[in-house]
């Protein structure tokens, strides 16, 4: 979609994919209680849609982290004139000596599914180091109803190498002693219409794209087409049947004396 967001949208009162992604961005901003002038760390910022939205609409300064040079260049151009800085590299190489306890809020949207089980604690520790006392951290992640250390074989072979879905218990263990849980919401049912919209966009592009623009896999464009169609629609069915969930979890670094009011 126009926002280039590659995670579950939020379809309450949304007329289309773009509106639903913007609704997801705004829901996250409200859950983080973003205030003008605050500093926000975005780990796994992707193509920068959320960073731009938060900076434009909530007046925050954003530091985004991505491992992809192409994404970093795209986000820098997208956010020209906004207080958005991009660090291109592994989050484990983020210069904490420079940014230690420098952020009021932190977010990670659809990224922890790609770090592997042995790095869950590492990610939480990096966020805890970066946040000021009583700072908030929102984690948006697809979750598995059972704990595992390996991903689904077909998806890890063709779509997400090394991907594995964390369970709530694995996330709780990773956060233990670092953060306090303040809120958790399952928005998994919203992923089915998101994936269906992606599939519709993909098929529309495939029908109109020039042959030379279409990617291939195993030497075949048609194989790529069938692979991507299977990926999008099988995942849509997975969420429709409740086989996986999408958790938005809000943590705090320390006790919040005034409490926390969950946004919905």
Which residues are identified as catalytic? Answer: 235
Q: How far apart are CA 111 and CA 32, in angstroms?
A: 18
The number of CA neighbours under 13 Å toward the Cβ of 162 is 8
**Using CA of residue 36, residue 40, residue 46, residue 47, what is the dihedral sign?**
positive
CA distances from 223 to 41, 60, 71, 229 (A): 39, 44, 27, 10
Task: Give CA–CA dist 224/216, Å, rounded.
Answer: 5
Residue 47: closest CA among 102, 86, 98? 86
């Amino acid at each position: 979609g126009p926002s280039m967001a590659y995670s579950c949208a939020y379809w309450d009162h949304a007329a289309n994919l773009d509106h639903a992604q913007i609704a997801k961005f705004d829901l996250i901003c409200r859950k983080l209680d973003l205030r003008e002038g605050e500093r926000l760390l975005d780990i796994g910022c992707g193509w920068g849609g959320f960073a731009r939205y938060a900076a434009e609409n909530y007046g925050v300064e954003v530091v985004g982290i991505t491992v992809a040079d192409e994404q970093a260049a795209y986000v820098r151009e997208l956010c020209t004139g906004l207080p958005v800085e991009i660090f291109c590299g592994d989050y484990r190489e983020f210069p904490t000596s420079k940014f230690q306890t420098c952020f009021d809020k932190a977010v990670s949207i659809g990224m922890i599914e790609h770090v592997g089980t042995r790095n869950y604690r590492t990610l939480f520790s990096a966020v805890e180091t970066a946040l000021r006392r009583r700072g908030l951290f929102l984690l948006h992640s697809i979750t598995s109803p059972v704990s595992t250390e390996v991903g689904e074989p077909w998806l890890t072979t063709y779509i997400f190498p090394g991907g594995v879905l964390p369970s709530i218990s694995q996330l709780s263990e990773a956060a233990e002693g670092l953060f306090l849980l303040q809120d958790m919401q399952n928005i998994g049912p919203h992923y089915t219409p998101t994936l269906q919209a992606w599939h519709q966009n993909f098929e529309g592009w495939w029908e109109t794209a020039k042959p030379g623009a279409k990617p291939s896999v195993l030497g075949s464009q048609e194989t790529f087409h069938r692979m991507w169609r299977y990926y999008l629609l099988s995942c849509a069915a997975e969420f429709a049947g409740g086989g996986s969930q999408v958790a938005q979890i809000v943590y705090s670094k320390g006790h919040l004396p005034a409490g926390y009011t969950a946004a919905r």
